[in-house]
Structure 1
Amino acid sequence: MEEHIVIIGNGISGVTAARHIRKLSDKKITIVSAETEYFFSRTALMYVYMGHMKFEHTQPYENWFWKKNKIHLKKGFVKQIETKSKTLHFAEGDTLEYDKLIIATGSKPNKFGWPGENLKGVMGMYHKQDLENLETYAPNNKVCKRAVVVGGGLIGIELAEMLHSRHIPVTFLVRESSFWNGVLPEAESAIINREIMANGIDLRLSTNLKEIISDENEQVKSVIIEETGEEIPCNVVGLTAGVSPNIDFIKDSEIKTGRGVKVNRYLETNIPDVYAIGDCAEQQEGINQRRPIEAVWYTGRMMGETLAQTICGNRIQYNPGHWFNSAKFFDIEYQTYGWVWAQPKANEARFYWEHADGNKCIHINYNKNTREFIGINTFGIRMRHEFFDKMLNEKQSVDYVLEHLADANFDPEFYKQYERNIVLKFNKENNTNIQLKKKSWRRIFA
């Protein structure tokens, strides 16, 4: 009898695991989801609301794909995992037995017990249901006179941009003294503050939500600010103060959990034949300075690919490589490769260059003793992932990286004016004589 692999969750990590298990084997595969029948790209939800695509465009696979590839889809909410009998119990009353179980249930928006946080018109921006709620409560600026977004991270700024695209006034409550300054150095955070306000968003820094006020229909009427007691009338409140692993249904089982489901480098839990991947998985120890939990789509995909190998007999460790990430803050693109902390560590030196227009910059981090390149942030200038991955793998010096900056650019002709200014500034500040090399892409990546 063929081995039955059950995957709870149909996000990027669960679906990637299923696809790669199918490529490698004829095992029976079932994906369980309580949210939608078919996999969709969460990162594309904002573009549906903004009118750039339809929801069906967020589904990378046609509906026939699953049957053709013998991947069974089950709609249902798992209430309990019974690991001794290898049985899932559903809220709907039925059960499902597995031979191997993959937990890939993702994240849920954080709630902090604010009065009124469950009123109609209060939502996160993570699930398809959130998109549907936005269409109900904020279809336009006639129905929604103002929205308040709570939480200064990537999801918060995306939601603010979405609402702004429909000309809905937005007040953005950020408890930190500057946007995302737990992640970004001060200069980059200031660039984003300016970009948010330049788009007409009412940005309130060092500001906390106290409570959400209801009207007579249990719908949002206003919010109260903690620090001042000010009441801001609004029809929608977006709660985007981070996410947490979606694992409440696991806590009564024998599967070990912390903030997430605890896993080793092989993505195995403490229970044989039970694994966890994606946003809900928590590494027992962070890998290469990474956080134990990473709610990033590409790491979820990598975990799915890695675990498929193990499930199919080739047991290998999860190795995510060098940290990288990218985002878009309204019109400013952001990329980061390696490590550029909000505050430099004792052995680190920084080099910062900002364009006169105030919305382009690079910030380089390197070892001040050995001069080894550690990481870079780029804003408003798109650069090649492959270049910086190679520099980090080879442990190249900051001098070498700057010499070959032409190879990092997608369009060196357009950006060469920046490169010259960047290197001149570095030379002046560090008493060096770095000379820019001409584009040598073929030579470097041959």
Structure 2
Amino acid sequence: MRHIVILGNGISGITAAREIRKQCDDQITVVSAETDHFFSRTALMYVYMGHLEFHHTKPYEDWFWAKNRIELVRAEVTGMDVDAKHIQYADGQRLSYDVLILAVGSKPNFFDWPGQNLRGVQGLYGKPDLDRMEADTKGIQQAVVVGGGLIGIELCEMLRSRGIQVTFLVREDRFWKSVLPTDESALVTRHIKQHHINIRIDTELAEIIGDGAGRVSAVVTKAGEEIPAQFVGVAVGVSPNVDFLKNTPLQIDRGILVNAYLETNLPDVYAIGDCVQHRTPPDGRKPVEQIWYTGRQMGETVARTIVGKPTTYQPGVFFNSAKFFDIEYQTYGHVPARPPEDEQSFYWEHPKGTIALRINYRRRDQTVVGVNSFGIRQRQDVWQQWILDGKSIQYVLEHLPQANFDPEFSKQYESLIIAQFNAENPEHKFRIKAKRGLFSLFRG
């Protein structure tokens, strides 16, 4: 019987453990320094906002692990010995392995700002961050959030839920410039302002000032402006959590380098999740992708390989989803901030300014390559199949109701979307050919 050791109890490591246990009787040990049990990291904001208690974020009852013979160890790992095939804990104890899976996640980025070690300055990644935020925001009036992405929006919403005034510093000249096209960025920015967030575009953090007792009291921007704050949320991205592995023979660039089977350069050592960098990324994917569902997919993939069914990592059509306060956002396929020259981009926005749809398609053959949706819930299976099948913009528009996931009596916008496309492209006269039926409404 082999001993399979998994470092990290996030979605990647736990998925691997569960899938391995379904298919073999090997000994499995999961090691984590963060929490005793697996929890849903994406639900932490709702704990802070009072919608959930922490125990609600645990998908499995505490008895699940012993019943399924998955041993959980709460310990900090400080190193590994490849030749002896063991990992070392902070207290000096060692744990031997036959197979090692590194699922050590990521960590918030910091950029050596003066004062960044003051109390009340932090990122939001795990349960310890939530606990610190809970303690350090009690009774405060003002906060600053640094960084214009999804975690930044979450921090803003969390703080506003407690009546705290929030100033949101975005270094670029528009919100989430690296991801969203200009129209969508403007839509989200308006929505942020409507929720009483003081968003400051083109504003960069220079220094964090303390109160003389070890706690943050203000920030200073590179323009010299001082902004009072008793809490500073840092949301300028995350990086693979690999510092403790850099003095080992493991090959590391930005993340742990893996091949298509998620194998590292070391025998019987695999890596999955946020800590991974793909040597040859799958089609349409980036070398480092720190998304919840890709971690789950990597856990499933590596499990099959370890139980004797070698499987390459194939995540399929890119997708992601999020919420900007009240606006639901979904994206499928390829929708860059600026489309390449060989692509066209059609954008429709409702006059109320919180509902929009963008479809990108190739010029040469009209094949749809991606979609952004704001405020209209879309069916993932429909869009992914359309993109895989190379459906044309005409086909997609004429069958657009099939992708709508909103309830039956919700307001529909497909006719308005097609009317605008026809007005902008008078050579076309597309019309809806496929309505939503009971099958499309209730499947999935």
Given the two structures, how large is their TM-score scaled by the length of structure 2?
Answer: 0.97
**Residues 412 and 425 of structure 1: CA distance in aligned 2, closer, same or farther (over 3 Å):** farther
Where do 1:45-124 residues align within 5 Å?
45-124=44-123
1:212 aligns with 2:208: yes
Name the structure 1 match of 2:272.
277
Counterpart CA distance in 2 for 1:251 and 1:443 is 50
**How many Å apart are 1:93 and its aligned residue?**
1.2
- Unpaired stretches in structure 1, ≥5 consecutive residues: none
Residues in 1 aligned to 2:33 and 2:364: alpha-carbon distance in whole angstroms: 53
Is residue 158 of structure 2 the alignment partner of residue 162 of structure 1? yes
CA RMSD after TM alignment = 1.4
Cα distance in 2 between the residues matched to 1:96 and 1:16: 21
Deviations 1:222-250 (A, max 9, x none): 11111x21111111011110000000011
**Cα distance change of structure 1 residues 348 and 414 upon mapping to structure 2, 3 Å threshold:** farther
Deviation at residue 25 of structure 1 after TM alignment: 0.4
Deviation at 1:411, TM superposition (A): 3.6
Structure 1 pair 429–169 and aligned structure 2 pair: CA distance change class (3 A): same
What is the deviation of 1:289?
2.3
Distance 1:231 1:443 in 2: 54
Matched, 1:191 2:179: no
SS in 1 for 2:413: helix
Equivalent-residue separation in structure 2 for 1:195 and 1:130 (angstroms) = 27
Secondary structure at the residue paired with 1:158? helix
1:147 maps to: 143
Distance 2:397 2:226 in 1: 51
Native 8 Å contact 1:406 1:412 kept in 2: no
Kept after mapping to 2: 8 A contact 1:255/1:269: yes
Q: Is the 8 A contact 1:406 1:437 kept in 2?
A: no
Residue of structure 1 equivalent to 2:26: 27
**Offset of 1:123 from its aligned partner?**
1.0
Partner of 2:394: 399
The answer to whether the 8 A contact 1:224-1:231 is kept is: yes
CA contact (8 A) 1:409 1:415 kept: no
Stretches (4+) displaced over 3 A: 411-417, 440-446
1:425 equivalent to 2:420? Answer: yes
Could you tell me which residue of structure 1 aligns to residue 238 of structure 2?
243
Q: How big is each residue's C-alpha offset from its partner over 1:32-62, in whole Å with a ceiling of 9 and x where there is no partner?
A: 0011111111100000000000000001111
Question: 2: distance between equivalents of 1:119 and 1:398?
Answer: 53
Which one-letter code corresponds to 1:81 in the other structure?
M
- TM, length-normalised to structure 1: 0.97
Contact 1:406 1:416 in 2 (8 A): no
Equivalent pair of 2:376/2:406 in contact (CA under 8 Å): no
Deviations 1:284-328 (A, max 9, x none): 122212111111000000000010000000001000000000000
Q: 1:99 & 1:184 partners in 2: Cα distance?
A: 44
* 2:304 maps to 1:309: yes
Q: What SS does the corresponding residue of 1:424 show, helix, strand or coil?
A: helix
Unaligned runs of 5+ in 2: none
Taking the aligned partners of 2:245 and 2:367, their CA distance within structure 1 comes to 44
On the 8 A contact 1:322/1:389 being kept in 2, the answer is yes
Letter in 2 for 1:206: D
How far apart, CA to CA, are the structure 2 residues paired with 1:97 and 1:376?
Answer: 47
Secondary structure at the counterpart of residue 303 of structure 1: helix
Q: Trace 1:283-302 onto structure 2 (pairs within 5 A).
A: 283-302=278-297
SS at match of 2:328: strand
Q: For the residues of structure 1 that align with 2:13 and 2:165, how far apart are their CA atoms?
A: 37
User: How far 1:118 sits from its partner (Å)?
Assistant: 1.0
Q: Give yes or no for the alignment of 1:263 onto 2:258.
A: yes
CA distance in 2, matches of 1:318, 1:298: 13
Contact 1:384 1:409 in 2 (8 A): yes
